[in-house]
Structure 1
């Protein structure tokens, strides 16, 4: 994470058909036409963060005043490696994750996408491998910021409960 102390606490949002070429710091740009939300990293590093909106990527909720993105934003490919949630235009900072946990999360994402798109496969196409939990995926489920989020009702709690069902030592 950026150590300059420039961590943002809030974002405003703008709905637009096209994402502007010049992004302003502190603004989440949302294109429903292209199912994408884009912002500059909230740590202040200035890197562009693109979050595709889809059933297998991020979901955006808008309550008429504020926006929320789910799941969290984990900028693991950026030098800052920042990790945060966007809820009701507020930034909720999360702890860092180990590389092992990041890799497990990416693997789990690929498997969930494969399972989602499996229903769209042509008959006779090869099936993706089953989702297997690993020690690293257990680290994700036990991360303090994730455990905190479990207390909330809604789709994230349901997803986490479902993911935990794949672990041999799941806590639900």
Structure 2
């Protein structure tokens, strides 16, 4: 598989079509069949603590790379405007390091979100925007 198109969905269908990235804005997830053709479903969580998905002319770009180090194929690639850009297969150690990095990024995001949810922080940020400091 070397070419993907984007299909916006509410729910990801049970049967996936090769070459399609199914994206649900409501559930903040994108799912596609592995680009190597092995048939494995590859989900990516979207949002500030996950991957980003952008669209241009119906063609998806997903960042950062998609590493399927936990799958038998061990595929590693980027999807850029619907085109697959292959990267070297991930070793077991690289997969573990990537999973740990993802976990740290999520923890940092939620820790920051909790800190910013305090009423006085929100009030201070509103004041800063109001007076033009931010």
Unaligned runs of 5+ in 1: 1-7, 123-172
Where does residue 52 of structure 2 map in the other structure?
A: 59
Determine helix, strand or coil for the equivalent of 1:119. helix
Residue 11 (structure 1) aligned with residue 8 (structure 2): no
Instruction: Tell me how large the CA RMSD over aligned residues is.
Output: 1.5
Q: TM-score, normalised by structure 1?
A: 0.62
- How many Å separate the matches in 2 of 1:65 and 1:20? 19
Determine helix, strand or coil for the equivalent of 1:22. coil
For the 8 Å contact 2:49–2:109, the answer to whether it is kept is yes
Q: Which portions of structure 1, spanning 4 or more consecutive aligned residues, are displaced by more than 6 angstroms?
A: none
- How many Å separate the matches in 1 of 2:79 and 2:41? 15
Unaligned runs of 5+ in 2: 116-134
Pairs aligned (count): 115
Where does residue 33 of structure 2 map in the other structure?
A: 40
Q: Which of the pair has more CA radius of gyration?
A: 2
- How many Å separate the matches in 2 of 1:31 and 1:120? 23
More divergent stretch after superposition (67-76 vs 57-66): 57-66
* Structure with more relative contact order (C-alpha pairs < 8 Å, separation 6 or more): 2
1:31, CA displacement in angstroms? 1.1
Where does residue 97 of structure 1 map in the other structure?
A: 90
Higher share of residues assigned strand: 2
